Structure formats: structure tokens, C-alpha cells
A and B are shown apart, each in its own frame.
Chain A
């Protein structure tokens, strides 16, 4: 532990060395590339919910932006979602702490994993998704400052962000910037304060554009939504114990006589990843879904045999102990088994149903359109890709998705007392936790967009020049 702390302090000191170097670079005057052509700024606002954006718009902000619902990945956590959205390789799991299936052990657990957040998110060894941003934060303490007082830190962060955008837009046509403060405020404050922050952001953007010598257009996007519902915290390990599943730190080498699972408890979010080594997925998911704290449990079932090369995989969604299953082909075609039993989705699957089998078969875009306005937007795609997207090197076997007023307790810093964050969370399959927004001053947008499609729409996000 002491070694980790010393290493962290050493990296902090080294990263501080960047300040004079960037100061030197900043002293170099540059002309402007194509000064009459607009520069495009892609501003990633962490935790920008559709709800907060709409309220800001109602107050006149972002009035000249085309806006679309952004359906974010499941599970909706920042490191995973940014990595996936920007196609920036993979992280171990869905957060900095993850379970290594190959070595049957937890990685970056405890204080070490907690301390990894500020380090890997800008100080040193930056995760590739964050390294892609021209602007990430305004000094080594940016993350701490954002959580200690999100509003106070906002002004100085914006000062630094606009300065970076202004300078880099002279020589780059596309600039990527990142803002943490709205996510911090949504966890710590309330919806109104998050809206206030967005209104101020819009004011600063307009002032900046007014002062800029060249046209600069903004496109905002995000990694996940926020339910903006005050939450109580639960511990997935307690949930497992409550329903008779042993919560273990490592899985038994041989098939155990009991049900067992490893729960990853790291940040305060509204989902939990369970690793079972592929064993007893249906049984564990079914049992956990009966727990009053759990809204849905989802799991990947065995691949479908004799699928004629369609790459068909089968998944389950358990609700109050009852299984609802579907398959998804490699081309995205979804077959919803016993479609009538999915009435809780609030979606009429009748137009795609086969009356003889009772199954509904939908093309990928049909499944997207049919579910995007429901309580669990794009649920089939989001569940299936949670297990298959390469952004997570070691995918979970079962996910617990909580209601909007429930969040996983997360890692507790010894001696730090209760973490204040309780105002609203993300990570689950619910509409509030999922729905974000992509809005642009430059580009026309369809009514709704998947996060996974953003890098095709805007190649700068995947690192293209």
C-alpha cells in the first residue's frame, strides 16, 4: 500500500513537470490554418442527461443546436463508455477495478483502484480514451476540485478549456474537449444545479464564439445519462447473501455445490457486474432478480447451436424471477422469444411477431426504433453488446440493473466517512440512467443516435485527423 502511495506521489510530481513545458509551448505564436473555415469542437460532457439538457434549453441555452437522443452503452460508466464510444481499445472490465477471468482475481481493488482514478484519468498513464481529448482537466487536482466543489471548479476549468480550444483551433480543424463538472454536480447536487451549469456553459460558449476571430462550432456529446433521483445505497455482496448465492473473491476451481459469484464493487453506480466463470448464469440471474433492490438481472446464455453461421447468441433478462430471452445475430437481427411476455417493456412487438411461434424477429434498426422511447431504450442491443463489445477485456457473466433510486455503495475510503454523493446515478438499463444527448451547431442529426455510431458520424472521436 505504501509503495502505491509513493508511486502515486511520484507520478503526481512528474506530471507537474508538464506545466512549464506547456507554458513554453503556449508562448509560441501560431497563425491560423484556413482562418475562414469553421473549426469543429467536440465537447464531451461527462454525465450529460437528456433531462438536464432539455431543461437548459427551456431556459434558452443551446438554442441553435440540432439535438438527438443519445442512447448510451450498458453498463453506463464513464471509463467503459468513453473507451467504447471513442473506440479507444479496451479496459480490463467496466471500470478501473475489474475481475480478471483469466487469473481468477480482482485487479485494482481497494484503495489502489480508488487512487487509480485521478492517475489514469490524466495525471500519468492516461487511459487512451481520455488521452484523445485535447483538453481534459486544468491541473493535477482537477478531479478532486470538481468533487469538492463542482460549481467553484467550473469557472477555472472553463477558462483553461476555452484557452486550449482557442489556441488549438488555430492549427487543427477539429478539437476534442472534456468536461467532468456536470457529472460531479449531478451526483453531488441536484438537477437544478446541473441545469444551471449547462446554462452557464452555453453562455461561455457564446461569449467565446463572439470573441473568436474564426468561426468555431460546437458539438456536445456524452458517455451516459443520469436519473437525477436521490438514491439509497446497496451492497451487491449483501444482495447475493440475501438470496443464497455465496459472494466470493475468487471462483472455485471445480464446479461448487453452491451458487457463487464475484461482485465488482467500485464506484457508486446503478448496476453491478457479477462474474461466475460462466457457471449457473440463469440460476444466479433468476435469484438475484427476485431481490427487492434489483430491477433487472441480465446474462449471456450459451451460444445457439446450429445457427447456420449467423453468429447467433442468446441472452436472458430476468425480472422478478421470470426469464425473458432473446437471440441476436451477428448482423444485429433480434429474435424476441415469447414476445408477449415482454409487455413490461411497454413496446408493441406485434408487427414483428410470428403468430405460430410467438416470437418476434426485428432487424437491428427496427429493434432500436421500437424500444428507444420506452423505459429501457435499445435494451436488446445494449444487453447483447455489454457481453461482447471489445471495450471490456473481461466481460461479466451477469449484470444487476437497479432502479433509479438505488445505487451500489461503491468503494468506501477508510476513515473518510460517508461519501456525500447521493443525488443521482447512472449505469443501469433504465431510461433516466441511459438517455443522454448529442447536439450540434454544425451537423444535422436524426431523432436518436447510438453512442456506438458517434465515431462513424464524427471520425475525430475515433482519432482520425
Chain B
């Protein structure tokens, strides 16, 4: 019974935004772009001559990718600070750390073959008691509350990235999320699957569609969303909006944004 009739207008808005930042401008007017690949790259490997795939998702907790950065690369951002050594990325979400939800995790690149990337991710979050009250104001009250005890999240995710074309990347993830707490209602074992598609208008600009269903079976929810990404050699910015549909038939906004400095 649920619908997302506003999707077309969101797409229109995203297109307008991309246009406003120069989507259709000539290449000479564009900011610095990622270096073009060497001509010897295999034509069947779009990752070799196209934009590099995203190494983490934007929708919180459930959205991931199968790609990892190259060995020695690092990034410091709002939603992810990480360093990659060989096929292992170690990181944290600094934004959640600032709010007292300390977290850390690792991601292992399992496969990088042609168009396909696979990765396994393990994370842990410690959510403090009454985390919902740790806010600057009182105008983004969400659905979550843990008034009586802290809880720990231990999400395990398997993610895949498929480089469908030079300008089209598809990401999908399956996550198992056990939670630990003294409060019985906060002790759950849930799962979810998400997917998002990133279309590059240019090597530096992309628009993404997000969708997923998560929280099964305790509190099944769904989300759909739209975001845009801007990236240069040294900076990656992304922001967007998702609508989350709760099991009680209600729905609410999820605002997503991120900015990171890249060292690669």
C-alpha cells in the first residue's frame, strides 16, 4: 500500500542540482578530475578507465559496497575516517563518535575481478543510554530510544559492487545485525538488504538512487532515497534524502551527508 510518488520530482530536483553545479558544462570549465587511466587497460574492466567505485554507502548502518580503496589510501571525513592496507580497510564513523556512539570496524576486500568487487565488513557500535537525547536541539527526534540501558551493535555485511558500465555502478549489501543490551527489547537479531545505483554524469559528479529493506524480523522497515556525489582528487562530497517507512505504517525523513578529504 505504500507508495513513493515523489520520486520523479526528486529526480527532477537532483537533475537540476547537478545542472546547477555544471553537469552539462564543457570539460574545460570543470574542476580537476580524476586522472584518466592508462590506455593499456582492459576494455572489459570499467573500473580501470572510469570513476573509482564508492567504498562505503550513505544510508546509515545498512548500506555498503564491495569495493575497497587501494593499498595506502586514507580518507578523513564526517562519516568515515579510514586507512586501507592491502585489502583491509580499518575505520570509524567520526560523526557518531562525536555524539558518543563510539564505533570501529574493518572491511576486507574479498574479490576484485573484472567488473565485480566483493567485500566483507565487520563493525561495532556502542550506543550510550538515552542516545536519543544526545542532540544539540530537539527538532530531529527520531523513532529510536533506549532510555534505560546502552546497547551494542555488531553488524556483519557482505557487499558486492558491479561496474555495469563506465558511468554506472551498482552496489548491493546483505547485513546481519545482532544487538546486545540489558533491555530485552533492544536485544535483536535482524537482517536487511540494500542496493544503490550510482550514475556518473561526469567523472566528478554522480546521482544515486537508494533502496533497501532492513530490520527483519523485529522491526521491518524500508527506505528509498536520492543523493548526489561530487568528487575531486582530494575531496569527496555527498548528500541526499531518503524516506524511511516504519513497520507501524509511518514514515519519516532521513537526511544524509558526508564530506571527506582523500589521501591516495
Name B133's closest neighbour in chain A (CB-CB).
A131
In Å, the complex CA distance between A136 and B142 comes to: 11
> Within 8 Å CB of A465, what residues of B?
147-148
Nearest CB on B from A163, distance (A): 4
Are A26 and B188 in contact, CB atoms less than 8 angstroms apart? no
Q: Given contacts A29-B188, A31-B187, is CB(A159)–CB(B139) below 8 Å?
A: no
A124 located at the interface, meaning its Cβ lies under 8 Å from any Cβ of chain B in the complex: yes
Contact indicator B188/A18 (Cβ below 8 Å) = no
B185 and A31 contacting across the interface, CB-CB below 8 Å: yes
Q: Do A24 and B96 have beta carbons less than 8 Å apart?
A: yes
In terms of DSSP, what is the predominant structure of the interface of chain B?
Answer: loop
Question: Would you call B62 an interface residue if the criterion is a C-beta within 8 Å of the partner chain's C-beta atoms?
Answer: yes
List B contacts of A19 (CB < 8 A): 140, 253, 255
Count of B interface residues, CB-CB < 8 Å? 57
* Residue in chain B with minimal CB distance to A139: B139
Q: Please judge, given known A-B contacts A131-B138, A140-B137, whether A159 and B252 are in contact too, CB under 8 Å.
A: yes
Report chain A residues within 8 Å CB of B139: 15, 18, 122-123, 136-140, 142
Per the bound structure, the CA–CA distance linking A19 and B240 in Å amounts to 12
Chain-A contact segment, one of B64-72, B109-117, B213-221: B213-221
For residue B168, CB closer than 8 A to chain A, the reply is: no
- CB pair B253 A160 closer than 8 Å: yes
Q: How far is the CA of A126 from the CA of B250 in the complex (A)?
A: 26
Asked if A164 meets B138 with Cβ closer than 8 Å, knowing A19-B255, A33-B183, the reply is: no
Residues B99 and A29 in contact, CB atoms below 8 Å apart: no
- B246 is an interface residue with CB less than 8 A from chain A: yes
Closest CB in chain A relative to B101 CB, distance in Å: 7
**Interface residues of A, dominant DSSP:** helix
Let me know if B251 and A31 touch, CB within 8 A.
no
Partner of B132, one of A11, A22, A136, A142: A22
0/1 interface trace, chain A 159-171, chain B, CB 8 Å (1 if under): 1101110111011
Q: Is there contact, CB below 8 Å, between B251 and A24?
A: no
- In angstroms, Cα B197 to Cα A423, docked, is 51
Could you tell me if B136 and A28 are in contact, using CB atoms closer than 8 angstroms? Answer: no
Q: 5 pairs across A/B with beta carbons < 8 Å?
A: A26-B142, A29-B179, A133-B138, A166-B250, A171-B186
Which residues of B are in contact with A by a Cβ distance under 8 Å? 59-62, 79, 95-96, 99, 101, 127, 131-132, 134-148, 151, 153, 177, 179, 183-188, 190, 214-215, 218-219, 221, 242, 244, 246-257
Q: A124-B137, A166-B248 are in contact. List 8 more A-B contacts (CB 8 A).
A: A31-B184, A163-B143, A164-B141, A167-B143, A168-B144, A171-B146, A213-B247, A465-B147
